Structure 1
Amino acid sequence: MNRALLGSAAALIALVAAQPGLAQRAPAKPAAPGHVYTSDLMTRWGKTVTPDNAWRSYPRPQMKRTKWLNLNGQWDYAIRPKADARPNAMDGKILVPFAVESKLSGVAKHVGPEDRIWYRRSFNLPADWKGQDVLLHFGAVDYEAQVFVNGALVGAHRGGSDTFEFDISDYLKPGANALEVQVLDPTSDGPQPRGKQQLNPKSIWYTPVSGIWQTVWLEPVPKLRVQDMKITPDIDKGVLAVNVALNRSAADDDAVRITASSKGKAVASVIARANRPAELAIPNAHLWSPDDPFLYDLKVELVKVQNPYKQPEGAKGANRERWQELQTPAESARYASASVTGTASDTVDGYFAMRKSSIGPGKIAGQPQMLLNNKVVFQNGTLDQGWWPDGLLTPPSEEAIRWEIGYLKSAGFNMLRKHIKVEPAQYYYEADRQGILIWQDMPSGEEDDLHDQFLREKSQYEVTMPQDVTNEFEYELTRMVADLRNHPSIVTWVVNNEGWGQYASIRLAKMVKELDPSRVVNKVSGWLDTGDAGSDLFDIHTYEDVPRVPAANSKRAIVIGEFGGIGLPIEGHLWFGGDKRSWGYQGAKDAADYEARYRRKYAEVIRQAKEVGLSAAVYTQTTDVEGEINGLLTYDREVSKLPAETFKKIHAPLFDKD
């Protein structure tokens, strides 16, 4: 969203209680000292959350093992000045995985840059885990975490949106084990990637999130195990590349058996030497698309094979062939035909899809377009902030995300732009399963009062950032790509939004493309465009009554990365009351006015799609968020401002077969 809203009253069309027909609720009660404002809005899913049902699904859907232990639930917590020693007494209970500031956490307290959050709980390991290593996983902790088991430091992590894990095997003891997590989070007082969070939330900025905000879990694993997988489909060649990395180097008789299945029937299988790339032929592939989100199953097993290089005792030159064939097709061929001995020592289950995201010739001569599976498919999406009135960054439940993605599809959207936020892995699984395309933004970061990190539309140069800031941004950018790259729903990486801390955009876009050549890269969504280099898209933001047309581009697809923003308050479903302002880029008087404005905007988008080769448009936004009331849905997801069927009918011409 447009930073200029904060500095120009003329640009902000405020919708206040005094306007005819725009009713507000009674004034909300002020937050108690030390607490954050939480409103009284709750989602239907938030009302059913308990310590026993909070986020119980497997937290890593694409790399599942059969045994695991969920540590979500009630933990002890305390908030103290960061310079204080470890507290003897805690403040109370917090419901993990909901952030300290959220209503669902049961805490809803302010955390500033001067504070430290302390979490404590104990756990017992199941008896059948004996003899295995134990990994402690965190879905995400915002922002800087130190983790202790039985009083010993097992590791530390910086980064608010990425997964991390520690091998805690050496720190465990029989019976109860003590787990402690300490967290620091400067939020907008620091420049770390944080998206829409601000210590003083207002306008386009939202209530901050601190501490644990995704699932915490334990997993037993063998000493030698599958650590990472990179899955890349190639529909043109009819193959699936699967690169499996173990946690350490392996012996000559260690191999991985990779099997792709469809509806319980194996369609391809290969054996590869451990820590080597592998490729499976997927003949007559069933392609994934929003209309047909077909997923294959994938199984990876760590097995022993008869050593292809084993020589008779005392034979001369026993290792010559082995050394000559390292990392060659000849080595791959030997292992592909090797015999498996015994049973698998480690097994992980996942899934994949055969689909392609690319840029190519479109319907308008000289104007490239976005392609899905080598065909022009208009990408009609929403700007999706991913915030919830009760859970903030954390959706209240898995069912809530299933419902919301289903709503967007029923309203005629086939895409969403996940706006400067990273979701739990279960979210992307639902997108993969239900079939919706995702543009994944990198969360922006900048200090609250350092205005020279923001670019304006007339800026000609990118900002200069301190090395420690760029190191952190680029580390988290690479982690985001690594965490999410196996999800077929993600078709575009968005590196920067509207010049928020934008620097070295060409270099960063090229880096992302090298990390993942299989997707479209959008280096700059809105504002300062830095030319064709490194980017597949030319992206404008246009909040005018009738959207502007992106300039034609012979090398990049043209898209509208943000438009819309029609504000319509719904009484009884607003975050703020009293003299607090709710706002939209435009103010609708009532539902009829809202529909007329919406139709006018989409009529122009449809015209551009047919006449100038527009590839995609992103409507602001999925839901109201705190003071913003420009959502298709209210913040609590209870009211759709037009029936979903009406939205779908308005969008239908975008998908005409012409």
Structure 2
Amino acid sequence: MMRFRHRGAIVAATCLWNAAGAVAQTLPPQRPDSVYTGAMVTRWGKGVTPENAWRSYPRPQWTRSRWQTLNGTWDYAITKAAAPMPVAMDGKILVPFAVESRLSGVARKLRPEDRLWYHRTFTIPTDWAGQHVMLNFGAVDHAAHVWVNGALVGSHEGGSDPFGLDITAFLKPGDNALVVQVSDPTSAGSQPRGKQTLDPDGIWYTAVSGIWQTVWLEPVPALHIADVRAIADIDRGKVEVDVAVNGSAHDTDAVRLSVRSGGRTIATTIVRANRHASLDVSGAHLWSPEDPFLYDLVAELVTVDDPYRGRPDRDRTAYDARFTQREGATYAAATVAGAPRDRIDGYFAMRKISVGPGRVTGQPALLLNNRPYFQNGTLDQGWWPDGLLTPPSERAMRSDLEFLKKAGFNMVRKHIKVEPARYYYDADHLGMLIWQDMPAGGGEDQFVTGTSQSQAVLSSDVMAAQQNELAHMIGALRGFPSIVLWVVNNEGWGQYDSATLARYVKGIDPSRLVDADSGWLDVAPDVSDVADIHTYEDVPHTPPHDSKRAIVLGEYGGVGRPIDGHLWRADKRWSYQVTSDAQDYLARYKRKVDEVARQARENGLSASVYTQTTDVEGEINGLLTYDREVAKASLADFARIAAPLRVPAK
């Protein structure tokens, strides 16, 4: 059994919680590896304690009734890579906040040559007896190795995607010891990392390492539902559903699917486990930002009476029926025996995103539910002064979406960051379209510039890592109907073979659109669904006409206005255009949005992405200050200026 003790002096030096348990307002004593955190704490961050840190169910699009959070106070230590597992720990850390963040209680750098260690104990509830136990991580940046009771149970690479490990065989009665080791090269490596850097400045932000989303336990049967993929087809009035279990299924293992609305069952069917189902949702209530209507979808793993029992050559009959209409009809009529063995409750939306004829002849447009629909969005970095990549709370995260809705926006481009699942759940329910970026990777010398004429050359290993995390991101997020477009590359940062990657994404998820290259080097015109330019001029440039693709402003805006008392650093005020005058700020903002409206009306522009939702560290071009306390203009003014872009989908 592993035993850990603390280096007491360091515990006192690195703890940021005050006597009441909430985050303290004073910084810890400085040390050589301290991270600059500034003095800024959000109003939500001020209330964070080990007892209330991120307590919501972490997979809200597919829920089970029983689970246990492991968020809260853990032990931590930072060692060199060659050092063995430490016995003496450095202090306490608040999970799920990254070690560099203020809210973690640590605010220390993790260098490429370092290893970050976590330790805590947990017990399994007695009513979980007979179940398998999954240990789930929302996200760990970047490479994690996990031990339970001294045994290595698994590892994972990829800083933005969730993963789970079946730890049943390693558990014992009473306290169980959990240890996680993390390494993270940040900008010294080529792995997907978004805007993180070891030397933050300008548009590059403080590194995030270690556990930065919820850690949790969940009991499941030995054979359980592993994935449900629901794709709406509004033209046929169907929802197409794939159901996968975690292993090989027997002929008596089936899944009962039920579509419900307002407590009423609309459609139900039974399919063999690891099969496809099609359910009728005719006369559907369509989802849109103005009317974000959602249907419930329940998936139950059930046992059915052997549907082939008594048939001549029973095994051959079952084998020949695999993946046929005959098999589908057989299971639809099967008799369920006993209670469900597993159940997950989810939801889906009947909505369609596509490209088709627009309001300007000859210029295709983005369509929502088969009608032209202008997507008015912001570039959203999703960073926080006290939590970095981790919002201080679920309520804090939702507040950004609520602000944008009130300010007249209907879309967010989630910029080279993947959010906790609840963000997309909130977007589904509030009615906000999402463009989801792939977090950028590659070395600094592999960043394609605005004048480049060819793409980066990467090793096979680096390309495989990028594609693996791209597939994991799509797999984790495709259950959220608010996501309507995948952005593969941003401004050439690690851009390689984007046409192949765009086809790869379309193959994984044909139900959404793909932006192969947002800004700069457009090399996939035959694959990308949009032609995307970035323009930070005082009056935005107009994208050239494209007879095959929708035209969009993937980034524009960037009007900066510093608000004294709400700056990350008083000496850092980066923006594309800067004004300190409220009237001048509003005039500049209006001039840009008015031009977007003209382009939509006269040139067939389909979408625009204003930079940006909030100030971020040294950047001051947000609609809100970094602490979300001050809006650069009133909500009424923002909504009034956006009004010409508002064309509801009918």
1:404 paired to 2:403: no
- The answer to whether structure 1 residue 482 and structure 2 residue 481 are counterparts is no
Give the 5 Å matches for 1:538-549.
Answer: 538-549=531-542
Alpha-carbon deviations, 1:275-324, whole Å to 9, x = none? 11011111211111100011111110011112221116xxx523343222
- Checking the alignment, whether the CA contact within 8 Å between 1:120 and 1:179 is kept in structure 2 is yes
Q: Answer with 556-565 or 587-596: which moved more.
A: 587-596
Q: Contact 2:290–2:648 at 8 Å: present in 1 too?
A: no
Provide the residue aligned with 2:415 in structure 1.
Answer: 419
| Match in the other structure for 1:590 | 581
3-state SS, counterpart of residue 583 of structure 1: coil
Q: What pairs up with 1:569-588 in 2 under 5 angstroms?
A: 569-577=562-570, 580-588=571-579
How far did 1:657 drift?
Answer: 7.3
The letter of the residue matching 2:114 is D
Q: Please report the RMSD computed on the Cα atoms of aligned residues, expressed in angstroms.
A: 1.3
| Structure 2 contact 374–647 (Cα < 8 Å) conserved | no
Q: What pairs with 1:296-311 in structure 2 (closer than 5 Å)?
A: 296-311=295-310
Q: Secondary structure at the match of 1:645?
A: helix
User: Whose RCO is larger (CA < 8 A, sep 6+)?
Assistant: 1
Q: Take 1:180 and 1:302, find their aligned partners in 2: how far apart are those partners?
A: 33
Q: Percent identity over the alignment?
A: 61
Structure 1 residue 458, shift from structure 2 partner: 2.2
CA drift of 1:184 comes to 0.3
User: Which residue number corresponds to residue 25 of structure 1?
Assistant: none
Corresponding residue of 2:20: none
Query: 301-310 or 380-389: which moved more?
Result: 301-310
Greater Cα offset, 503-512 or 527-536? 527-536
**3-state DSSP class of the match of 2:347?**
strand
* 2:426 maps to amino acid: E
Query: 1:283, 1:321 → 2: CA distance?
Result: 34
CA displacement at 1:463 relative to structure 2? 1.1
The total of aligned residue pairs comes to 623
Any conservation in 2 of the 1:31–1:38 contact (CA below 8 Å)?
no
CA distance in 2, matches of 1:41, 1:169: 43
Aligned to 2:610: 619
Q: Are residue 268 (structure 1) and residue 261 (structure 2) matched?
A: no
* Pair 1:472 & 2:465 matched: yes
| Equivalent of 1:393 in 379, 382, 389 | 389
Which letter maps to 2:368? L
The separation in 1 between residues aligned to 2:328 and 2:418, in whole angstroms, is 37
Instruction: Tell me by how many angstroms 1:93 deviates.
Output: 0.5
Please state how far the C-alpha of 1:404 moved relative to its aligned partner: 1.2
User: What is the aligned counterpart of 2:353 among 327, 340, 357?
Assistant: 357
Whether the aligned pair in 2 keeps the contact of 1:30 and 1:37 (CA below 8 Å) is no
Find the counterpart in structure 1 of residue 335 from structure 2. 339
> Following superposition of structure 1 onto structure 2, how do residues 438-477 of structure 1 map, counting pairs within 5 Å?
438-447=434-443, 450-451=444-445, 453-477=446-470
- 1:197 is matched with which residue? 196
Structure 1 match to 2:642: 651
Give the gaps of 5 or more residues in structure 2: 1-26
SS of residue matched to 1:496: strand
* Inter-partner Cα distance in structure 1 for 2:261 and 2:228: 20
Counterpart in the other structure of 1:604: 595
Give the SS at the match of 2:293: coil
Q: Any residues of structure 2 matched to 1:41-190 within 5 Å, and which?
A: 41-190=40-189
Letter in 2 for 1:556: R
CA contact (8 A) 1:401 1:430 kept: no
Could you list the per-position Cα deviations for residues 156-191 of structure 1 after superposition, in whole angstroms to 9, with x for gaps in the alignment? Answer: 111000000110000001110000000000100001
Deviation digits for residues 408-429 of structure 1, max 9, x if unmatched? 0000000000000000001110
- Residue 29 of structure 1 and its aligned partner are, at CA, apart by 11
What CA distance in whole angstroms lies between the structure 2 residues aligned with 1:264 and 1:199? 51
Q: What CA distance in whole angstroms lies between the structure 1 residues aligned with 2:297 and 2:647?
A: 35
Structure 2 Cα separation of the partners of residues 620 and 29 of structure 1:
33
The one-letter code matched in structure 1 to 2:304 is V
8 Å CA contact retained: 1:417, 1:440: yes
CA distance in 2, matches of 1:367, 1:445: 33
Contact 2:517-2:524 at 8 Å conserved across structures: no
Query: Which AA in structure 2 matches 1:644?
Result: L
The AA in structure 2 aligned to 1:56 is R
Structure 2 Cα separation of the partners of residues 123 and 581 of structure 1: 44
Aligned residue identity for 1:461: S
| Corresponding residue SS for 1:594 | helix
Q: Shift in Å at residue 114 of structure 1?
A: 0.9
- The code of the aligned residue for 1:511 comes to Y
Q: CA deviation at 1:533?
A: 1.8
Give 3-state SS (helix, strand or coil) of 1:230's partner: strand
Cα offsets for 1:320-373 (capped at 9, x unmatched): 432222110111011111111111011111111111111111011111000111
Would you say the 8 A contact 2:487–2:518 is kept in 1? yes
What is the distance in 2 between the residues matched to 1:625 and 1:339?
57
SS of the aligned residue for 1:330 comes to: helix
What residue number does 2:623 align with?
A: 632
| Equivalences for residues 219-368 of structure 1 within 5 A | 219-311=218-310, 316-368=312-364
Q: Is there any run of 5+ residues in structure 1 with no aligned partner, and where? A: 1-27
Q: Are residues 1:218 and 2:217 paired?
A: yes
Q: Quick one: distance in 2 between partners of 1:409 and 1:542?
A: 24
* 1:515-558 CA-partner distances (Å, limit 9, x unpaired): 00000100000000014221000000000000000000000000
Normalising by structure 1, we get a TM-score of: 0.93
| Cα distance in structure 1, aligned partners of 2:32 and 2:524 | 49
**CA shift in 2, pair 1:29/1:256, >3 Å:** closer
- Per the TM alignment, residue 132 of structure 1 is displaced from its structure 2 partner at its CA by 0.9
SS at match of 2:598: helix
Shift of 1:252: 1.2
Write the letter of the residue equivalent to 1:377. Answer: Y
Please say if residues 302 and 341 of structure 2, whose CA atoms lie closer than 8 Å, have aligned partners that are also in contact: yes
Give the distance between the partners of 1:127 and 1:511, measured in 2 at CA: 45
Three-state SS of the structure 1 residue aligned to 2:196 is coil
Residues of 2 paired with 1:156 and 1:223: CA distance? Answer: 21
The residue identity in structure 1 corresponding to 2:250 is: A
2:486 is the counterpart of 1:493: yes
Distance in 2 (alpha carbons) for counterparts of 1:79 and 1:476: 26
Q: Which amino acid aligns with 1:588?
A: T
